[in-house]
Every structure is written in C-alpha cells, then in structure tokens.
Amino acid sequence: MRLTSAATRTAGAVDDATRGVIERFERFPPGAVDAALTVVITVASVGPAVLAHQPWWVLVLSAVASVPVLWRRRAPVAVFLVVGPAITVLACLHAMPALPYGTVVCAYTIAAYSPRARRRGAFVAGAFGILVSLVVPHESPDSYGHAAMSFLTAWALGTGVRARRAQIAMLEERARRLDEQRRAALAGERLRIARDMHDIVTHSVGSMIVQAETGPLFTDRERTDATFASIAATGRVAVQQLRRTLGALRSETGDPPRQPGIEAIPDLLEQSRRDGLAASLDEDGARRAVPDDVAVTAYRVVQEALTNTMKHADATGVLVSLRWSDQLLTVRVSDDGIGQKRTNSTGYGLLGMRERVTGNGGTLWHGHSDNGFQVRAELPLGQRS
C-alpha cells in the first residue's frame, strides 16, 4: 500500500476539505454513503486503467481494490485485507493509476468502528503494506512522507469520529442517570411529604378527637374550657407543621423544611397528658448531637407510637425512653394498654415508621410486651451527615 509517483503529486487531496466531506457523509444513511463511496472509488480506480488501455488483470485488481468498500462497515478488517494487498500489488508493478482511495477509506473505517485489538493489528498491517509498496518499486524518499500522511490522516479522522461518538454516548448515559436520580429524588420527596402529612394529621387530629369527645363529659367549667383550649393549641401546632411541610413544594431551593426533632419529644408527652394519658420520659446516657434525619425519625417514631396508643390501645399510661450510646440511639415507647386492636389496623403508620427507621440504617420492632404494647427503634448515630 503506497503512493506511486502520480499519487505522490496528489497526496494533498486528503486535507481539511476532504476531512469535512467525510464527516458530512457520516451524517447520511450508512447504506447510501457506502454505495456512493463505492461508485466514486471504483470510477476513480478503474476509470484511469480503462482509459490507459491497461491489461485485464490491472482492471481486475483495480476493481478488487475498490468494490469491496461497499461492505466496509460490516467487515472493515476483512475489506481492508482484500483492498490493501490489491493496491500493494498494483503499486509494486507500477500499475496503480491514482491515489489509493480504498486504503484511505478502509483505514478511516477501522479507526472509527473497530475494537482496539483489531485497530492495532490493522494499523501494523497497513504500515507494513505501505512500506512494502514503497521499498519494492524503489520510490523516491518524499513518497514515504506523502504515503504516511495520507494513511495517518485517514486514521486520525476515524479516531476523531470514534472519540466524538464515545463522548456523545457518555453524555447520553449521564443525562439518563441524572434523569433517574431526579425521578428518584422526586419520588423520595413525595414519600417524605406523605409520611410527614400522615404523622402530623393522624397525631393532631386524633388528639383533637379524643379531647373533643371527653370535653363535654366534664361538669367543671374550667376543665371544659381547658380541654377546648388544648384542642385549639393542638390545631395551631398542626397548622404550623403542615405549613412547614407543604412549604417544600413552594421552595425554590428545594431544601426540606426544618422538622421537629428530639428536643420536641417533651411537647408530644405534654400533649398526651392533655389527652388523658400518664406519659413520662426516661432518658439514659449523655445526649449527643445527631444528624437531622435521625432526630426527625426519633420524633416521628414517638409521635406515631403515642398516636396508636391513644387511638387503639385503651391505655392509661405510656413511657418513652431514650437510651444513648456511642453508636446507637434506642427509642422505646411502652404502654399498658391492649395491643391486639392495633395489629389489625390497615393504616400506614407502622409502615411509614419502619421506612423512616430503615432509611437511616436502623431497625424497628413492635409487638406485645409484658404489660401492654411496645415500639422499639434502634437508630445508628452518625449514619448520615
């Protein structure tokens, strides 16, 4: 594979303009491009041989060096191994009438579409063929540079196309992953809002229902007034929490609103006392700063457990205990009520509680205890920053 003396004078044909034409061809349907290239290369290779009244074997070799280009995408290396030797033979016999277009197109195709191992083998074979086609017919030294330039230019064009195709595929994959992450984030945010809404509404409304039902039973005007004042206070707190939760839907930054944490657990117990439960808090160990997700989860576990106790357990007392260790926060809510009723509940309270706890890498257990019903959550500290 080499340039003859005539080809040496036209080596500049593979220049910027040619590269632009090849790149534009790649935008058209592959079959049409290959057919057009085959026709052009065949005419350019066989035509001069016909006009020069070359022997029949020159015409055959010229056709072999051009017609297989039609299958360059299906079997680029095989086409290269057919076209290359044919051009080399023509060059060695001083019968190649023009530039080795077939070799140039095959080099471009292999560099653009073939795997790395085949590219390396084809490059070595191409370099060897060029060397043979220059050494055997004793071409002038400047022919070596022109031959190498045409081959390397085609190879560089194919490499550039392959690099752009890989970059496009990478960008498409990145866009797909970002879209998946966006969808997952939206689903997670919807789930978080649904959990918060459930916890806020069920706890607050449940407390208001209990107080509204017991309020008329009091004969003492002060206790009755205090009950309805408590209902109003509970409603105001619920409205505030709902506004913070729904505010995430309007937030331009997308940051979740600040939710109550461990420091607000005493407020839940005070609310339970107003509902008629003997609620108490037992805390063991030094309180530590915890991630916001863990603090909110601990609060929601206590809130949901108190709500279930009030609605389903027929309990008179409840104990909330917090156990602190270096790596773990254990939240336990125990009541003295009848736990059987809640096991048949079809609500989402326990499910949402479990999702919150496991989402922070913790574990949740709930079931009957010696004196009633118990909910226990173990939350790892420092699980999330």
pTM attached to this predicted model: 0.48
pLDDT at 1: 41
Domain with CATH 3.30.565.10 in the chain: 276-385
**How many beta carbons lie within 10 A of that of residue 214, not counting itself?**
14
Cα separations (Å) of 81 from 2, 89, 102? 15, 13, 11
pLDDT at 321: 92
Phi, psi for 372 (deg, rounded to 5): 170, -125
pLDDT at residue number 169: 85
- Does 3.30.565.10 match the CATH number of domain 276-385? yes
pLDDT at 349: 67
Please tell me the predicted confidence (pLDDT) of residue 378: 92
Strands (E), the chain: 278-284, 317-324, 328-335, 363-368, 373-380
Q: How far is CA 260 from CA 237, 247, 276, 329, in A?
A: 11, 15, 23, 17
Alpha-carbon distances of 220 from 40, 224, 255, 273, 274, rounded to whole Å: 106, 6, 47, 18, 16
Task: Look at residue 331 in the predicted model and tell me its pLDDT.
Answer: 92
Instruction: Please tell me the predicted confidence (pLDDT) of residue 24.
Output: 63
Enumerate residue ranges in the chain where pLDDT < 50. 1-15, 340-346, 383-385
**Which pLDDT does position 17 carry in this prediction?**
54
